[in-house]
Amino acid sequence: MMLGALSATAQQKTALSYWFDTPVTLKGQQVWYGGHPEKWTHKKPISAGDTARNPDSDWESKSLPIGNGSIGANILGSVEAERITLNEKTLWRGGPNTKKGAAYYWDVNKNSAHVMQEIRDAFAANDWEKASQLTRKNFNSPVPYESYAEDPFRFGSFTTMGEAYIETGLSTVGMSKYRRALSLDSALATVSFVKDEVSYQREYFISYPANVMAIRYKASRPGKQNLVFSYAPNPVSTGKMVADGKNGLLWDARLDNNDMQYAIRIRAINKGGSLSNEGGKLTVKGADEVVFLISADTDYKANNNPDYNDPKTYVGVDPLATTHDWVSKAEGKGYAQLLDEHYKDYSRLFNRVSLNLNDVDNANDMPIDERLANYRKGAKDFYLEQLYYQFGRYLLIASSRPGNMPANLQGVWHNNVDGPWRVDYHNNINLQMNYWPACTTNLSECELPLFDFIQTQVKPGEKTAKSYYGTRGWTTSVSSNIFGFTSPLASEDMSWNFSPFAGPWLATHLWDYYEYTRDKKFLSETAYDIIKGSANFATDYLWHRKDGVYTAAPSTSPEHGPIDEGATFAHAVIREILLDAVEASKILGKDAKDRKQWEDALKHIAPYQIGRYGQLMEWSKDIDDPKDEHRHVNHLFGLHPGRTISPITTPVLAKASKVVLEHRGDGATGWSMGWKLNQWARLHDGNHAYKLYGNLLKNGTLDNLWDTHAPFQIDGNFGGTAGITEMLMQSHMGFIHLLPALPDAWQKGSIKGLRAKGNFTVDIYWDNGRLTKAVILSGSGEPCQVRYGDKVKKMKTQKGKTYEVRF
- Is the pLDDT confidence value at 532 over 50? yes
Beta-strand runs (E) in 696-800:
729-730, 736-738, 749-756, 760-767, 770-778, 784-788, 791-795
- Is the pLDDT confidence value at 26 over 50? no
Position 54 confidence tier, pLDDT thresholds 50, 70, 90: low
Residue 193 burial (CB < 10 Å; 0-12/13-18/19+)? Answer: buried
Cα separation, 345 vs 209, whole angstroms:
7
Domains, the chain: 8-91+163-351 (2.70.98.50), 95-159+400-607 (1.50.10.10)
pLDDT score for 13 = 40
- The model's pLDDT over 36-48, given as tens digits with 9 standing for 90+, comes to 222 222 233 333 3
Position 361 confidence tier, pLDDT thresholds 50, 70, 90: confident
User: For 294-447, where are the alpha helices, taking DSSP H only?
Assistant: 319-333, 335-350, 368-376, 382-399, 430-434, 436-440
In degrees and rounded to multiples of 5, residue 239 shows phi and psi of -160, -175
pLDDT score for 31 = 22
Q: Which residues of 158-172 are buried (b: 16+ CB within 10 A; e: fewer)?
A: bbbbbbbbbbbebee
- The model's pLDDT over 612-666, given as tens digits with 9 standing for 90+, comes to 999 999 999 999 999 999 999 999 999 999 999 999 999 999 999 999 999 999 9
pLDDT score for 16 = 83
Position 268 confidence tier, pLDDT thresholds 50, 70, 90: very high
pLDDT score for 34 = 26
Total-model pTM: 0.95
Q: In 3-state terms, what secondary structure has residue 644? A: coil
pLDDT score for 68 = 98
Between the two ends of the chain, the Cα-to-Cα distance in Å is: 42
pLDDT score for 33 = 27
Position 363 confidence tier, pLDDT thresholds 50, 70, 90: low
pLDDT score for 360 = 87
Residue (of 141, 51, 97) closest to 476 by Cα position:
141
pLDDT score for 632 = 96
- The model's pLDDT over 163-192, given as tens digits with 9 standing for 90+, comes to 999 999 999 999 999 999 999 999 999 999
- Is the pLDDT confidence value at 365 over 60? yes
Position 50 confidence tier, pLDDT thresholds 50, 70, 90: very low
Q: Are 561 and 494 in contact (CB under 8 A)?
A: no
pLDDT score for 491 = 95
- Is the pLDDT confidence value at 568 over 80? yes
In degrees, rounded to 5, the angle at the alpha carbon of residue 443 between the alpha carbons of residues 438 and 445 is 100
pLDDT score for 781 = 98
Phi-psi region of 4 (alpha: psi -120 to 50; beta: other; left: phi over 0): left
- The model's pLDDT over 653-681, given as tens digits with 9 standing for 90+, comes to 999 999 999 999 999 999 999 999 999 99
pLDDT score for 12 = 35
Distance of CA 413 to the CA centre of its chain: 11
- The model's pLDDT over 407-419, given as tens digits with 9 standing for 90+, comes to 999 999 999 999 9
Segment 133-142 mean pLDDT = 98
